[in-house]
Amino acid sequence: EDQVTQSPEALRLQEGESSSLNCSYTVSGLRGLFWYRQDPGKGPEFLFTLYSAGEEKEKERLKATLTKKESFLHITAPKPEDSATYLCAVQATGGFKTIFGAGTRLFVKA
């Protein structure tokens, strides 16, 4: 069964304190792994798609990496405006359905 587990559930950082969010996944065949950002009261907003192990993508202070079993979202020198819930999701080959993890709530204090 396809499954996505994110850790930690919540993460509190000081401004400038770098850290990583983890996404462990089990999927029959990976078509793509996605990272989304969700602000309170809003819909998820797309950040990255990763397709194969070893792939990395960056956007401002965020960098996403992928292995055969995990993905990491690295946050370098975070700012308070990075506070949000970060969602990881996978889509299997040959299918349409996207499986989401429960998310990591990130709080960055000034």
The site for other proteins (CB under 8 A) is made up of: 4, 31-32, 34, 36, 41-46, 49, 87, 89, 91, 96-103
Question: Least distance (Å) from other proteins to the CB of residue 44?
Answer: 5
Q: Find out whether the peptide bond into 8 is cis, omega within 30 degrees of 0.
A: yes
How many residues are listed for the chain in this entry? 110
Beta bridge partners of 7: 22
- Residue 14 vs 96, nearer CB to other proteins: 96
Q: How far apart are CA 88 and CA 78, in angstroms?
A: 19
CB of 53 to other proteins, least distance (A): 17
Paired tokens of 41: 């009261």
Query: In terms of C-beta distances under 8 Å and separation of at least 24 residues, what long-range contacts does 59-62 make, across chains too?
Result: 62/35
CB of 35 to other proteins, least distance (A): 11
CB nearer to other proteins: pick between 53 and 77: 53
Q: Is the Cβ of residue 78 or residue 101 nearer to other proteins in the bound state?
A: 101
